Amino acid sequence: MEHAIAVFDVGKTNKKLLLFSDDLKPVHVESIRIGEVRRDDILCDDAERLEGWLRERLRDASRKYRIKGVNVSTYGATLAYMSRGSRIFPIISYNQDIEPEVRREFYERFGSPLELYKVTGTPPYGRLIVAGLQIYWFRRRFPEIFGKVDRILFLPQYLLYWLSGLEAGEVTSIGCHTYLYDLRSMDWSVVARDLEVDKRSPDLVNVWDEVGTFDLDGSRVVAAPGIHDSNASILPFALEGRDALVASTGTWCVFMYPRAEFDPKPGDLDRDVVYYVNPYKKPVRSSRFAGGYEHDHYVKLIENRFGVDPRGMGLDPEILSEIISGRRDFVAPGLIEKTGQFQRSKPRIIGGGFEKSAKYAYHVLILSLAIQSRIAIDLISEGRRPEVIVLGGFANNEIYLQMLSALLQENRVFKSMFPETTGLGAAICCKCAIEGARPEDVRAKPPLMEVPKPQIDLDKLEKYVSAFVEVCSEGRAEEKDISAGSQ
């Protein structure tokens, strides 16, 4: 029976099981879509269905492979409230709304958004995307239940506990837009101590440490401690030592530049510049916007209007030239409030581009996403010209890649030819846990392909970018408001 490392890469909707060989080559990949549910009028992740799927798939994998180790990567800002070894409340979605008065109370108690940003590198995101704010909201709304909570686990650690019965904490999840980690002292923040999260957390370990072993069908399996997905995706490239900015694209497009210093500026606060914490406890200056979310929203409009799925279309230079020459057709961002680089922007279609053809409309949409990407990249690279490596869903979108490459004339742009970089980062950590090694001792270089720069009128392109920025900064326009999902 062949050996394998099992990694669960848990996205907000798509959940994957990946099996890697000893030399970190993927030998099996499968996925399932599990969304959100409502529990007593609270928006939650469907934890029960996810828990069942995890155990079922791991047991099935153990019948075909000798599983040596298990690791989990997941999205951030998601918590399990535990008491005496069991979860005592549903897993609350970070998309759950929060009452304005609770938000006000929080900042009155702990300091202004700017004061907290300078300490934790976390912007004042809406909903429950900030984990510390979620804990405050939960304690206020369910005080009796919170009083029974003796453990708070982030989602990667909870899922590993569910599979193995072993507990651990780690810094990439605790430091991911939470208000819980002080990036100056690299320790628990005032917010965390006030909410007693530090007392309710397991001991923190390195993401490459062995947490322990557990039995799986008669075999002993090593449990790694889990890792935040964005940190997992950047790890294989960070280990190479190259000056690279990683664009991890999906529902959220996250841009991470490890070489930038921790230098939170007041102007960053409303431009979605966030600092993650990497496995080595170093802040990673990052920016993000809901690129995949916006993409899918507008693709549905295109499909409804033209009966055509535009995904997979190639770049049409004539259409692109018409768009940038006319400077009349735009897709303004803002579907998720208080996120991205244009937080005053009202989401809308401007011009008649979505009436012409599916291909024309799709080019307008992708150009919007590529421009937002360039602005996010410029924000965190601060005048440097690192290589840009695109991972995830948009690494398969040729229109996006060529538009981004054209917009970044002084950067080399690459796309990852390996679709499971997040899983690979988690597998590297798991291999280290098995072998007692460190990530820098376990090299696994994902193959890359450079994206050529298309022939395009750069002067017209830059004028279109300026017009796009102006439109997004206006906040209001007498155009089609599609934020409710209709056209």
Assess whether 186 and 284 both reside in one domain. Answer: no
- Tens of pLDDT, residues 149-177: 999 999 999 999 999 999 999 999 999 99
Quick check: 45 pLDDT over 80? yes
Query: 337 CB contacts (<8 Å, ≥6 apart)?
Result: 126, 343
Assess whether 216 and 342 both reside in one domain. Answer: no
Assess whether 69 and 121 both reside in one domain. Answer: yes
Assess whether 220 and 246 both reside in one domain. Answer: no
Task: Tell me what pLDDT residue 444 has.
Answer: 87
Quick check: 350 pLDDT over 60? yes
235 within a domain of the structure (yes/no): no
Query: What phi and psi, each to the nearest 5 degrees, are found at residue 304?
Result: -65, -35
Average pLDDT, the chain: 94
Residue 350 belongs to domain with CATH number: 3.30.420.40
Assess whether 187 and 244 both reside in one domain. Answer: no
305 within a domain of the structure (yes/no): yes
Assess whether 288 and 316 both reside in one domain. Answer: yes
More confident residue, 160 or 339: 160
440 within a domain of the structure (yes/no): no
Assess whether 221 and 251 both reside in one domain. Answer: no
Average pLDDT (305-323) is 96
In a 13 Å sphere around the CA of 305, the CA atoms on its Cβ side amount to 21
90 within a domain of the structure (yes/no): yes
Out of 225, 260, 276, a domain closes at 225
Task: Tell me what pLDDT residue 482 has.
Answer: 42
426 within a domain of the structure (yes/no): no
Average pLDDT (188-213) is 98
Average pLDDT (52-62) is 98
56 within a domain of the structure (yes/no): yes
More confident residue, 337 or 310: 310
- Tens of pLDDT, residues 232-263: 999 999 888 789 999 999 888 999 999 998 99
Average pLDDT (328-333) is 98
Out of 198, 225, 252, a domain closes at 225
Which pTM value belongs to this model?
A: 0.90
- Residue 479: band (very low, low, confident or very high) from pLDDT cuts 50, 70, 90: very low
Assess whether 193 and 292 both reside in one domain. Answer: no
Average pLDDT (31-50) is 96
Quick check: 477 pLDDT over 60? no
Assess whether 203 and 346 both reside in one domain. Answer: no
Assess whether 107 and 152 both reside in one domain. Answer: yes
Assess whether 186 and 296 both reside in one domain. Answer: no
- Tens of pLDDT, residues 392-435: 899 999 999 999 999 999 999 999 999 899 999 999 999 999 99
439 within a domain of the structure (yes/no): no
Distance, first Cα to last Cα, the chain: 55
- Tens of pLDDT, residues 216-235: 999 999 999 999 999 999 99
- Residue 475: band (very low, low, confident or very high) from pLDDT cuts 50, 70, 90: low
d(CA 472, CA 467): 9
Average pLDDT (279-303) is 96
Sheet-wide strand order for 348-350: 330-332, 348-350, 480-481
Average pLDDT (446-470) is 96
- Residue 382: band (very low, low, confident or very high) from pLDDT cuts 50, 70, 90: confident
Domain extent, residue 62, equals 3-225
